[in-house]
Amino acid sequence: MRQDPVSAMKTIFPVLAVLLLAQGLSACQSLPPAEPSVLPDTVWQASELNGQALVLLEGEWRPQLQFGRDGHVSGRAGCNLLRGDYQHSGRELRIAPLVSTQRLCPAAIMKREKEFLRALEGGSSYVRDADTLGLRNPIGITLVRFQSAGLSGQTKEPATFVPAGSSGSPRPD
């Protein structure tokens, strides 16, 4: 006894749907797990620059970065605010081009700001350990090391700065 075409489709369609779903699920299992996003949603404050501990100069902001999920990076460079783009894939990280405001600060702060911006644009990879992020150049030398200041919008208490020889109370950086 032959079935009419509509009845045959009603029988075959559920079987095909189950087979296709099973094939799709097995294909998903063969893909590597997605790398968790390790950069966005955290404020990163610079703690070292070119291998030296970053001790703030009088009037200097602590350099910091915040990576957006949209491929933009923003932050402070020491004197000026910065903004730019970044590309992130695996352990590769490229930050450029950067633009900054044009505020004028003392020469020593401007010099270090220029070094910081140059280091950011010279980085090609990163390493992250718990609350630390290191930006490295192509041969693996860490150019800038950052400490997590907490989640965006929920940063930890700011570090304090006391000018050398000052008897005044500390002020936030």
Query: Please, which residues have CB within 8 angstroms of residue 119's CB and are 6 or more apart in sequence?
Result: 49, 50, 135, 143, 144
Are 87 and 119 found together in one domain? yes
Please write the tens of the pLDDT for every residue from 106-144. Answer: 999 999 999 999 999 999 999 998 899 999 999 999 999
Q: How many CB atoms lie within 10 A of CB 99?
A: 12
Are 50 and 74 found together in one domain? yes
pTM for this predicted structure: 0.67
Are 3 and 63 found together in one domain? no
Q: Is residue 26 part of a domain?
A: yes
Are 116 and 56 found together in one domain? yes
Contact 144, 120 (CB under 8 A): yes
Q: What domain range includes position 68?
A: 42-156
Q: Is residue 24 part of a domain?
A: yes
Are 140 and 74 found together in one domain? yes
Q: Is residue 163 part of a domain?
A: no
